[in-house]
Amino acid sequence: MVDTVSDNWIFAPRIYVENVRGHDPAYEVTTEAILRNLLSVCRPAELTCRYSDERDMEALQRADILVAGRLDTALIASKAKSLKLIQCTSAGVEKYAPFDWLRASTALTNASGVHADKVGEFGLMATLMLHERVPAIATKQRHHTWTRQLRGLAAGRRVLIYGVGALGGAVAERLHATGFRITGIRRSGGSVAVVERMTTPDHFHEELSKTDILILACPLTPETRGLMGNREFAALPPGAGVLNIARGGVIDHAALASSLESGHLSGAILDVFEKEPLPTDSRLWDVPNLMVFPHVSADAPDGYVDRCLAILADNLERAKAGQPLRNEVDRQLGY
């Protein structure tokens, strides 16, 4: 929670916006967008919008609030010493850990939740594809092979979602409505209305053997890096499917490839990779029964900036009231 001893910055903040030149225009934070979303809660004393290759260093040094999709942590640590709040317009912030560059007086908030509706739709689509063995059908198509394999209804199939936060929860809602039986894993183990059963990460391995489709939707942390390796893929029942909408680093891709090539897994859908774009010489392009999506599961460009700035507007109201901020990154947990 930010320090509100001097609350001038809440009512009349100096705001610095940094965009990346050449990025999709749908994600550019403009002066108009800032004013449209924030004038109901504050009157900016100063508003500067720049690209990262043409910074106004004096304005950045004066700024109370930074809005950016990519954070230059070294620059922030050395120059932006007046910041009270950083609104990152991305949900994932693991690449900025450890957070020793972040002053104790500066809060970092992310865009968690703004992707939920799109991820819910994508997760439903991909889970149904895995149930219908679409990755295997696509592989057979490339080889001009006609093989009919009838599948029953999706209702009653067992799905395990590792990470039932904003994204995993949105997927769970869509799957629940379709009749899937859902088990969820998250650190707290707290109940979720649409999830039949919740448990904690220490029970992950025993849940794998009961799973038809595994969905990874967790943050990338030291605890989740390499979460799925040879042992874990082998623990899944023969014919299981895997969907990764978390981060590329949660999966050992060599182990996944082996499980698909051996036929143990019926299919996998990956939307995230450690190196993006996926290199043209990556083995993953040609692994049978694997579908590669170019990191599109979460991005719905229409209204994206407004949804991000709604979080900032909400947090200014919360700061006025001395309440905890929404989406504040826990420096110890890393998300």
* Model pLDDT, residue 327: 97
From 333, 332, 324, 326, select the one nearest 87 (Cα to Cα).
326
- Burial class from Cβ neighbours inside 10 Å (0-12, 13-18, 19+) for residue 17 reads buried
* Model pLDDT, residue 300: 87
pLDDT band at 23 (very low <50, low <70, confident <90, very high): confident
- Burial class from Cβ neighbours inside 10 Å (0-12, 13-18, 19+) for residue 25 reads exposed
Cβ-contact 73, 93 below 8 angstroms = no
pTM of the model: 0.91
Structure-token pair, residue 298: 């979460």
* Model pLDDT, residue 33: 98
Which of 32, 206, 261, 276 is labelled catalytic? 276
- Give the DSSP per-residue string, 61-90: HH-SEEEESS--HHHHHHH-TT-SEEEESS
First and final C-alpha spacing in the chain: 15
Residue 55 has pLDDT above 70, yes or no: yes
276 is a catalytic site residue: yes
pLDDT band at 65 (very low <50, low <70, confident <90, very high): very high
Residue 1 has pLDDT above 80, yes or no: no
Looking only at the bridges linking them, the beta strands covering 46-51 and 14-19 are parallel
Arithmetic mean of pLDDT over the chain = 96
Identify the bridge partners of residue 214 per DSSP, sorted by sequence position: 160, 242
- Burial class from Cβ neighbours inside 10 Å (0-12, 13-18, 19+) for residue 94 reads middle
* Cα atoms in the Cβ-side hemisphere of radius 13 Å centred on 71: 29
Q: Which helix (H) or strand (E) holds 268?
A: strand 265-270
Buried-exposed string 237-260: b where 16+ CB fall within 10 A, e elsewhere: eeebbbbbbbbbbbbbbebbbbbb
Structure confidence by residue, pLDDT tens digits, 136-147? 999 999 999 999
Residue 159 has pLDDT above 90, yes or no: yes
Buried-exposed string 122-140: b where 16+ CB fall within 10 A, e elsewhere: bbbebbbbbbbbbbbbebb
pLDDT band at 61 (very low <50, low <70, confident <90, very high): very high
Mean pLDDT of 88-106: 95
Structure confidence by residue, pLDDT tens digits, 181-215? 999 999 999 999 999 999 999 999 999 999 999 99
* Model pLDDT, residue 18: 98
Structure-token pair, residue 134: 């679409």
Percentage above 70 pLDDT, the chain: 98
DSSP state letter for 256: H
Residue 3 has pLDDT above 80, yes or no: no
Which domains are present in the chain? 8-114+301-321 (3.40.50.720), 116-292 (3.40.50.720)
Residue 284 has pLDDT above 70, yes or no: yes
* Type of residue found at 105: S
For the beta carbon of residue 292, count every other beta carbon within 10 angstroms. 16
* Model pLDDT, residue 241: 98
From 158, 165, 216, select the one nearest 183 (Cα to Cα).
158
Mean pLDDT of 297-324: 95
Which of 295, 317, 326, 328 is labelled catalytic? 295
- Cα angle at 302 between 300 and 307, to 5 degrees? 85
Residue 6 has pLDDT above 80, yes or no: no
Measured CA to CA in angstroms, residue 132 lies from 124, 288, 311 at distances of 12, 16, 38
Residue 5 has pLDDT above 80, yes or no: no
Which of 115, 133, 157, 247 is labelled catalytic? 247
Residue 304 has pLDDT above 70, yes or no: yes
247 is a catalytic site residue: yes
